[in-house]
Amino acid sequence: MIVRPARVAAAMVLLAGVAPAQETAPDRPHAAVMPVALQPLAAHARVVATTLAYLGQPLTEDEQRRIDDAIAEVDERAAVDRLQEVLDPHALVVVDINPESRVKVTPGPARAELVEGGTRVFLVKVRNQAGVTAPLEVESPNSGSVSTPAWQGGSAEPPQTVTRQDVMERWADVSLYKTEVGVYSRPPMGGRLSGFPVEYQVLQVYSRDRGPRSALLRFNVGQGTQDIGFRNDVTILFDAAPAYPLKLRVQDENGRPAMASFLIRDRLRRVYPSQSKRLAPDFAFQPQVYRMDEDEVRLPAGAYTVTCDRGPEYDAQVQELVVKGPSALSCRPTRWIDPSKYGWYSGDHHIHAAGCAHYESPEQGVGPKDMLAQVQGEALNVGSVLTWGPCYYHQKQFFSGQDHPLSTDRTLLHYDLEVSGFPSSHAGHLVLLGLKEQDYPGATRIEQWPTWDLPVLRWARAQGAVTGFAHSGWGLGSTSAELPNYDVPGFDGIGANEYIVDVTHDGLVDFISAADTPAPWELNIWYHTLNVGFRTRISGETDFPCITQDRVGQGRSYAKVDGRLTYAGFVEAVRRGRTYVSDGKSHLMDFAVNGQEAGVGESEVRLAPGGALRVTVKAAALLDPLPNEAIRRLRPEQGPFWDVERARVGTTREVPVELVVNGRVAARKTILADGMVRPLEFEVPLRESSWLAVRIYPSAHTNPVFAIVDGRPIRASRRSAQWCLAAVNQCWTQKAPRIAPGEIEAARAAYDHAREVYRQRIAESAGN
């Protein structure tokens, strides 16, 4: 269910008994006496501003400031007027609904300016004297697909023949922006009206042509709501500015043709190409587009700021551009770091081509070429496109067990599987990498798959796949930011929940994922299981475009691969822990303990009692000289969850590099985050078998090296073992009710096994 902020706010005002202001300004077009309460209108104005920004046509900074000032106004009536004074100039039409629910439409003050081959966004001001909560509908005979209102129960029949005149008249596409049910991270606009006296809807108008064009716009809120005399329509004369081709010339740091992201804004900060109604390879939820060398975009005449980028390993290139006709732009961003020169290759093992924000048909999504553009544009070496429940039957056609043919020697695209939207999803989503077969034995529909995770992990492992949990922190939330902490979370989500059980079974879990959920939630369960002797690794992921729609590679694994980069080599590095997790803005390369590198052999170094350890790592980070306060103010549970800005020391340009022993910081050094790679060294005495890792928290984290003292296993913390046992019991309360009757006894036995393992480790662990 989508909660409409304006409706909720209006109810709160009525319950609180706040006396509403009245809209009485005689000099504002279309004003009428109508009670309007400030609080719900203020909440609605915020949603409108967010929606316009989401669609690439944000309000100006001055308009945003005026909204803030209006909301702070003591005089409620004046505040209501001032809020509307900000939004009204953007209204293309004003829809009045009289007390009898009749609709009439008049032109608004917004300039009816369009652009050839693009979409402009306007507001529709709705003055609702009847308190109608039906959907607002718009029709136009000039729209390419003329829809019939919902109250007529269907779509209009197209004419049997389409004449040249029909084609000429249907130059536009006109629609109201409406949030789709089940779509993540979109502002809640459109759909049904709130019933509030004044609100604004968002109108999208696409123009196929250039020059003056006339369009008839018809609005209604259901059958019989047209006003007498058919005044529910209005004719708007638009002027569509011509668009000209802009050829983009893109090179990487070596002068080779490359893919890059382009963020193009005009002087009003409007995004081009228009985000509204984009089609693949451009995604409506991203302000940037991805273009290869010699590709084009089309822009109307004007002045623009163009930001060209290739991901977090690059310094973005910002250029000013004036378009007067056909033109060209050259882009060659510079690298501040190239981990591949040290043998480290970047990958995002969790991206999707469908579902969540994708796209017009989430159950189908987009093709490999569109996903490759995203991966190449962010300079990732490996992109794992995971098919999952909502798109399983369509996207599985791209799975072959091999790299996709579009892969290059520098960019590998590979299709694998996320067990999400399957019967076992409640226990935690699984990431399965390097599969040879994608269909579970005996299952023809995903509904026939197991209802808990362990059978799926065993099936994947039997075919040599590398297995782990996705978006690990979900369901493992805690109010404590301490690491490790001893709060037992709810285990009521879709992250690494059943991991606490599965890790005790034959090493079936190779990794848990990090960098796309709050860092304390992800790392806490991992630290606890490392403390009791398990050797699960971590791997970086984004879960694009579900957890974030910004870009792929926001969370990354950097894998040390000997020789030529292959997908098999990459996932094997994930399995062995020859990787570090990063947001791409900080790096921890070649971490070693007494010369033993993480992920080499068993990642193990052996010591006599009382021995000392020498820890080495190559560290680098990049921060802007001035702090980004917007990120620094975020709580751990607010994204981006991993970002080097969160690691900044005060207002300096330094970040701490921390040596972690058994989950606690044992030593710390700071480095200047200027992009330079610096070798660091730590020395630490060790009395008991322990695991060690290095982190720049929360921006980068290595996998562990295991130091074995006097041949004894790692049992670093009795409290961790006790936490693990309590976690198994809590997990069972949440997962057992959703395990199928035919599988419940096997699941009960698996949980009992885990309990016994942790009881034994409690007995074996040190008294802390």
Distance CA 547, CA 522 (A): 15
Q: What pLDDT is recorded for position 278?
A: 81
Asked if pLDDT for residue 229 goes beyond 60, the answer is no
Q: Give the pLDDT of residue 325.
A: 95
Which of the four pLDDT bands, split at 50, 70 and 90, describes residue 227? low
pLDDT of residue 562: 87
List pLDDT tens digits, range 694-718: 999 999 999 999 999 999 999 999 9
Q: Please measure the distance between the N-terminal and C-terminal CA atoms of the chain and give it in whole angstroms.
A: 47
Rounded Cα gap, residues 315 and 336, in angstroms:
6
Q: Where in the chain is the domain with CATH 3.20.20.140?
A: 342-475+489-518+532-582+725-757
The tokens for 136 are 């607002």
Q: Of residues 186 and 616, which shows the higher confidence score?
A: 616
Return the minimum-mean-pLDDT range out of 165-174, 218-227, 304-313, 752-761: 218-227
For residues 498-536, one letter each, b for 16 or more C-beta atoms within 10 angstroms of the residue's C-beta and e for the rest, the string is bbbbbbbeeebbbbbbbbbbbbbbbbbbbbbbbbbbbbb
> What does R_g of the chain's alpha carbons equal in angstroms?
29
Which pLDDT score, from 0 to 100, does residue 159 have? 39
Specify the pLDDT at position 160. 46
Which CATH class for the 243-335 domain?
mainly beta
Q: Which pLDDT score is estimated for 284?
A: 85
Distance (Å, rounded) from C-alpha 162 to C-alpha 124? 31
What are the tens digits of pLDDT across the range 729-751? 999 999 999 999 999 999 999 99
- Could you report the per-residue pLDDT of 566-589, keeping only the tens digit for each? 999 999 999 999 999 999 999 999
For the chain, give the percent of residues with pLDDT over 70. Answer: 89
Please tell me the predicted confidence (pLDDT) of residue 170.
86
Strand pairing of 91-97 and 412-419?
A: unpaired
Q: Looking at residue 570, what is its pLDDT?
A: 98
Residue 439: the pLDDT is 95
Summarize the confidence of residues 243-268 as an average pLDDT: 96
| pLDDT tens digits, 118-143 | 889 999 999 999 999 999 999 999 98
User: And the tokens for 587?
Assistant: 């790096």
Q: In Å, how far are 47, 126, 151, 198 from 194, measured between CA atoms?
A: 13, 10, 18, 9
- Give the model confidence (pLDDT) of 487-535 as tens digits: 999 999 999 999 999 999 988 999 999 999 999 999 999 999 999 999 9
CB 691 within 8 A of CB 530: yes
Residue 10 — very low, low, confident or very high, per pLDDT cuts 50/70/90?
very low
Kindly report, residue by residue over 417-473, the tens digit of the pLDDT. Answer: 999 999 999 999 999 999 999 999 999 999 999 999 999 999 999 999 999 999 999
In the block, tokens 């030529």 appear at: 564
What pLDDT is recorded for position 560?
97
Residues 6+ apart with CB under 8 A from 486: 719, 723
Please provide the DSSP assignment of 152-186 as one string.
GTSPPPPPSS--HHHHHH--EEEEE--PPTT-TT-
> Residue range 655-678: average pLDDT?
98
pLDDT tens per residue, range 29-39: 444 446 789 99
The pLDDT > 90 percentage for the chain reads 78
pLDDT score for 688 = 94
Residues of the chain with CATH 2.60.40.10: 5-150+167-241, 243-335, 584-716
Residue 100, pLDDT above cutoff 50:
yes
CA distance 709 to 611: 8
Residue with tokens 């971490």: 591
The whole-number pLDDT of residue 231 equals 76
Report the pLDDT averaged over residues 595-615. 93
CA gap 488, 45 in Å, rounded = 40
Q: Tokens 């794992």: give the residue.
A: 384
Q: What pLDDT does 189 receive?
A: 63
Give 6's pLDDT tier (boundaries 50, 70, 90).
very low
pLDDT value at position 33? 47
CATH T-level assignment (fold) for domain 342-475+489-518+532-582+725-757: TIM Barrel (3.20.20)
Pairing of strands 344-351, 556-560: antiparallel
Q: Looking at domain 584-716, which of 2.60.40.10, 2.40.50.140, 3.40.50.720, 1.10.10.10 is its CATH number?
A: 2.60.40.10
pLDDT exceeds 70 at position 150? no
* Residue 595: per-residue pLDDT: 96
Q: What's the confidence (pLDDT) of residue 359? A: 55
Residue 482's pLDDT is what?
A: 95
pLDDT digits (tens, 9 = 90+) for 263-288: 999 988 899 998 877 888 899 889 99
Give the model's pLDDT for residue 177: 85
Q: Is the model's pLDDT at 20 over the cut of 60?
A: no
Mean pLDDT of the chain, nearest integer: 89
Of the pLDDT bands very low, low, confident and very high (cuts 50, 70, 90), residue 360 is low
* Residue 317, pLDDT above cutoff 70: yes
Confidence at residue 147, expressed as pLDDT on a 0 to 100 scale = 35
Q: 5-150+167-241 in CATH: which number?
A: 2.60.40.10
Helices and strands: H and E segment counts in the chain: 14, 40
Query: CB under 8 Å to 675, separation ≥6 — which residues?
Result: 336, 337, 620, 621, 622
